[in-house]
Structure 1
Amino acid sequence: MALSSSSFQVFVMACVCVLFIYFVLNGLYRSKDCFYQKHSKNKSMTDEKKQRKCMYQIEQMSRKGNGRKRWELCAGSVPKTIIQFGIPRTATTLQFNILCLCTAMVFEDEIKSVGCYFNRKKSQKYNVIKTHNIAKFLPKTPPNSWIFITSSGSLSPRNKHLLNASRRGIEKRNITIPYVADLDLVTRRGYFIAYEYQPIFGLSDEKMQHIIEYFRYWDILRLCCGKQMSADWRNRLSRKLNYKQHHDLHSPSYPACETYNISQVELLFLNTYAYRKFGHISSLRDAIGKPSTVDGKLDGTYCERCNTYIAKHHVRQNQKCA
């Protein structure tokens, strides 16, 4: 049926109005999208500048020997992604645990948004990841992230090359390396090495007391309990022929596990502020509350049961012990 002249004019005007509204709304959407992209990019750049300024101030104050209030400088500069990287057997687990607990303390008010994981990334708001293969994570790691490293002067030539190549890859991405923990220094300072991270995370002295309390007992459990206990202590529990002692009895690095009532240490650990505050949170269980990521849940008797099982069944490292 043919349209009348007036009807045709109404139809044309309706089409014009629809097209006009479409282009106006599409233009507004694109403008809004560009604004948010620009705003997000600017925010990322601002955060990165703030972090770099914080690192520079710490370095300058350390050189001048004025570090009494260094922790105040970096409050609010902790990024959403933190990675711990190192060659195995260079105290990587200790650094990972320190980073996890420091991050938990920083974001204590929104703690369920913090996650600590070994060799895998989760979708928490703030993530602390431990890995021995940094190349796996670098392509997708945001530039404003932090990557902490462990090292040792006694690395093999192959591992030295691997570590140096990894550092060059990190620096090429322009990602901040706030701290490199040397194994010799860690051995001399023990769990007090955690104080090195206080200014980086902007932690108060009160929060650091909770962290040091936690690692006072965790350090003993790490050496004297669980699937990854000290090889020397494992050999004391389950002796092997031709075993070569790693640490001399008179060395500060000797674990001396036989001097501890391990169940009492475990109970003291379970009663620390940090464990009571964070130990029940599922996204933190890879780090907080256990001697290692592969151990079971502590309950006051786990370590004693584990030691007894190793002595009886002669199980090896990383095998079930309780």
Structure 2
Amino acid sequence: MAAPQPKIMTSRTLILLTAYATVMTISCSYYFVQSVSRELNERRSSVDYYEEQFLPKRVGGDDVVDYGRSERNITQSSTSTFPLASHIVTHGRPRTATTLLFNMVAASYFLHLTHTDPSRIPSIHLQLWKREDAADKVLKREHERTLLLKTHIDLPHFKADNTVIFTAAMDKAEAAETKQQLQKDGYNIAFVQDMESLKQDGIPGLVSQYVSGYQLSSQDQKHLIEYFTSWEIIRQCCGQQMSSKWRNDMMPEQYKRKDLPHHPTCANYDIDEVEQSLMASELYKMMDRYPNLQALNKPSLNDETLNGTYCSSYNHRVKTEGLSFFGTPGGRPVRSGLDWAIKNEYNIGTETLTPAGVKMMEGIGMRELWRREDVEKKVWLKKLLRERTVKGAKSYKLGLEEIDDSLEFHFGDEENSVEEDEQVEESQAAIEIPVIRNPDLQPIASQNFDKSHAIFLISFGTEAAASTLVERCVLSLRRRGRYSGYIVVLTDAPPDRYEHVWDENVIVMHPQKEHMLDEDGEPLHYSKDNMSLKPKRFKTFVLDYVDMDSRLDDVELVYYLDIDILAGDSLDGLFQGLEKQYQVKGYRPKEDVSKLYFVTPLSKEWPLQSGTMIAERGTSQHCLRLWREEIDAMLKTGRGRDQDALRNIYIRMESGDEKKCQLVRMDNENYISFPTPRNFAKLSASGAQHANLIHISNSLFAKKIEEEEQNHYIHQILQLSEEEVASGIYGKAVVRAKDTSR
């Protein structure tokens, strides 16, 4: 009977153990769930705080509904250094590249959303807020849209917790100060773009800021650089809001402005190729899939959609119809005498105005005043003239005495007037920043040679300084030659003679004292018969002067030109043609002979024409030294020319006596033309094809061509406007040579 006992005890034991386990499980689960719940609440609190501050949010009344609830979105956003908000405002003073700022923000934010929340992309709404919008508009909380705004108006209109600010400054110091002040004032500031960094670092430098700010990928960085390298060219060189300089370059002669310099790069591009490159970029195609973003893929909001040839078609209309900034034919609007009187008063300024007059002038912008009716203009002008403390300077004879003195002038929206003027000025003076060359774009001008080539000019003597030969030469190189690279002007003229005449790529130098001495350090003496050697001896120092300026460190080839040479066509053809045919190289192996390159002259008296020369940076120094020694020997005899010195070396070279220097004779091949009485009619005929270089030598070939005919021809080569011709800026076309007919 005792045998079944263990079985009963085992069953009770199991029951007790099961009950104990159940109690313990419930107890542990309670504490575990409580712990997990507490941790989740803490995490949710932390995430809600982050999202409330930075993640884009949809707002309705006082209720906040967050976007981006997925873990992917939270992770991506948590690494972003730019704050994120419902709306984005890009802001800045006119002429601080605010259009580039707006487009860069839009494209970068678009790429950010492709990674974090693609469903938000269709809700982006692009807007331009003008001054008149400020009166009755505030940035409101939106249910369905993310507003991406461009504006020049005051930032207090956008001081909201659902807005992030991108703004612009002129330099790094101003950018740092602006960001600090805006943060202090409570703005949600993301980035301050500055012109100094933009010019220094170009598009890649700017892109790197957005890649870091939005935590974009290296592939995104590649897409942004590819896109904006082409976009920035299109922005400056195509469409209604192109650079005013480039528009002026293309304008028919009767509409050209004489006060604008040339655009430094636009002439260098096949603009359709740039347009097609932009359209082929990955970012262009990505944004083009969204109708709300397609406006970003145009030169400006006022332009049509790109089609591969839009830019060349538009530019052709500028060239043939004179399309203005407003897209209307006929150049700038023709201003009346009344408008010019108003402009004159603005030019005089406020210095001689009473406080009431200052208020009148500062109360309205000039262009806004131009848009008023003539009666209103006359009322303003008559009242302003009465406030001048200096009387009688201008009467204008515009019938102002007939204007009723009781008429009042109404300023209207004062700030709006000034702002519209500034916006027009910003567009008409488009910001030009360094553009990274796209290696897939083939230029139609000499941009490939901008760093590796330099053109060297020498202007010595009072007659040359009194003339505008150098200005003409440089002007032709920029206009006809479409050369934007370095030009060195060596001159003995006073330092202020060529001050502030050209762009920064024209380097003015003055002769070194040691170059006026012979090899023994003794002063050189010139006679009446060899005085021409004084400036021409400096041709043999061209490489020495190139070595003196660090900006020219990358130069490999130096093209010397006499200052009476003009460019007749793109120098691209000259560089490529001569250098390929004659194997011209900047640097050669040490064992190679020294070389100088000259064009074959018309005269059989000399084997080489010294008015044009190519010097190789690495090899030509020996030949230049030999040339200088020959010139110095001629100075002792009292006679000779620089071409005589070259002839002596050439004869020794041909006979084999000179083996370390080679003077290369380059056939003309129509690269250079020499106008003479015999060929002048053909060269100057309407529609004639001009050579790359035109050497108008009035000391030899052209001296018997009538001055009036030369003037007409040279004005055509220089592409002078009627105003430029009438102004006499470039003087007479001819420097008179001695009369050798007697």
User: How many residue pairs were aligned?
Assistant: 244
The one of 87, 91, 114 equivalent to 2:124 is 114
1:212 matched to which residue of 2?
Answer: 225
Instruction: Say whether residues 1:99 and 2:92 are aligned partners.
Output: no
Q: Which whole-Å CA distance do the structure 1 matches of 2:302 and 2:193 have between them? A: 23
Question: Do structure 1's residue 289 and structure 2's residue 297 form an aligned pair?
Answer: yes
Distance 1:165 1:185, change over 3 A: closer
Change (3 A) 1:220 1:145: same
Structure 1: gaps spanning 5 or more residues: 1-40, 52-70, 154-159, 248-253
**Residue equivalent to 1:145:** 163
Q: For 2:200, which of 175, 188, 192 is the aligned residue? A: 188
Structure 2 distance, partners of 1:85, 1:127, is 14
Inter-partner Cα distance in structure 1 for 2:166 and 2:149: 10
Query: Quick one: which of 79, 82, 85 aligns to 2:88?
Result: 82
The yes-or-no answer on 1:310 pairing with 2:305 is no
Which protein is bigger by CA-based radius of gyration? Answer: 2
Shift of 1:233: 1.1
Higher helix share: 1
Is 2:92–2:169's contact at 8 Å kept on the other side of the alignment? yes
Q: So what's the TM-score if we normalise by structure 1?
A: 0.66
Q: Which moved more, 1:113-122 or 1:261-270?
A: 113-122
Deviation string for 1:110-132 (max 9, x for gaps)?
A: 22122322228795533321101
1:67 counterpart residue number: none
Q: Residues 43 and 128 from structure 1, CA distance in 2 versus in 1: closer, same or farther, beyond 3 angstroms?
A: farther
What is the RMSD computed on CA atoms of the aligned residues?
Answer: 3.4
Label 1:43 to 1:80 Cα distance change in 2 as closer, same or farther (>3 A). farther
Query: Is the contact between residue 81 and residue 142 of structure 1 (CA under 8 Å) also seen in structure 2?
Result: no
Higher-RCO chain (CA-CA 8 Å, sequence separation at least 6): 1
Q: Describe the SS at the equivalent of 2:89.
A: strand
1-structure distance, mates of 2:101, 2:191: 10
Runs of 4+ in structure 1 over 6 Å off? 41-44, 164-167
Q: 1:104 to 1:132 in 2, by over 3 A?
A: same
Which residue identity is paired with 2:80? Answer: C
Which residue of 286, 295, 301 maps to 1:277?
286
> Normalising by structure 2, what TM-score?
0.30
For the pair 1:129 / 2:149, whether they are aligned, the reply is yes
Q: Is the 8 A contact 2:272 2:309 kept in 1?
A: yes
Give the secondary-structure state (helix, strand or coil) at the position aligned to 2:193.
strand
Q: Secondary structure at the match of 1:242?
A: coil
What SS does structure 2 have at the residue aligned with 1:175? coil
- Paired with 2:192 and 2:96, the residues of 1 have a C-alpha distance of 11
C-alpha separation in 1, matches of 2:236 and 2:319: 16
Distance in 2 separating the partners of 1:194 and 1:317: 29
**What does residue 176 of structure 1 align with?**
188
User: What are the Cα deviations for residues 137-164 of structure 1, in whole angstroms up to 9, with x where unaligned?
Assistant: 32xx5325321111115xxxxxx9xxx9
The structure-2 alpha-carbon separation of the partners of 1:75 and 1:113, relative to structure 1 and needing over 3 Å to count, comes to farther
Uncovered stretches (5+) of structure 2, i.e. residues with no partner: 1-44, 56-76, 134-138, 330-742
The offset of 1:171, in angstroms, is: 4.2
Judge conservation of contact 2:82–2:213 (CA < 8 Å) in 1.
Answer: no
Q: Which residue of 2 aligns with 1:16?
A: none
Cα distance in 1, alignment partners of residues 156 and 322 from structure 2: 35
Q: Which residue type is aligned with residue 99 of structure 2?
A: T
2:163–2:188 Cα contact (<8 Å) kept: yes
Distance 1:175 1:75, change over 3 A: closer
- The one-letter code sitting in structure 1 at the alignment partner of 2:147 is N
- What CA deviation, in whole Å up to 9, does each residue of 1:82-141 have, x standing for no partner? 110001111000010000001111112222122322228795533321101134732xx5
Residue type at the aligned position of 1:191: I
Structure 1 residue aligned with 2:260, among 240, 244, 252?
A: 244
- Find the residue that maps to 2:104 and give its secondary structure: helix
